[in-house]
Amino acid sequence: MELELDWPSQLSLFDLKDYILTKLKNYGEPLRWAITSLTTHSENKIQNISIEVVLIINQEKETEIDPDLS
């Protein structure tokens, strides 16, 4: 699955891993993941992180996966 996250400007590099793992757990249990690209939009200083992730999804869990995510 590929996922794109905003990297909040107030979030330090040292806290980035925990932030990503928290977001990924909304979809399932991350088995492995990697940051594949980082895009910075200079006009508004927003950074986007592209992540490829392999998830373990519990069938009993009620979380829906967005069909727009690859």
Give 4-62 pLDDT, tens digit per residue. Answer: 999 988 888 899 999 999 999 998 999 999 999 999 877 767 789 999 999 998 766 55
- Domains in the chain: how many in total? 1
Q: Amino acid identity, residue 7?
A: W
Q: Is residue 10 part of a domain?
A: yes
Q: Is residue 18 part of a domain?
A: yes
Domain span at 26: 2-56
Q: How many CB atoms are closer than 10 A to CB 3?
A: 20
Q: Is residue 38 part of a domain?
A: yes
Q: Is residue 12 part of a domain?
A: yes
Give whole-number Cα distances, 34 to 3, 46, 52, 63, in Å. 10, 20, 5, 22
Q: Is residue 40 part of a domain?
A: yes
Q: How many CB atoms are closer than 10 A to CB 50?
A: 14
Q: Is residue 62 part of a domain?
A: no
pTM equals 0.74
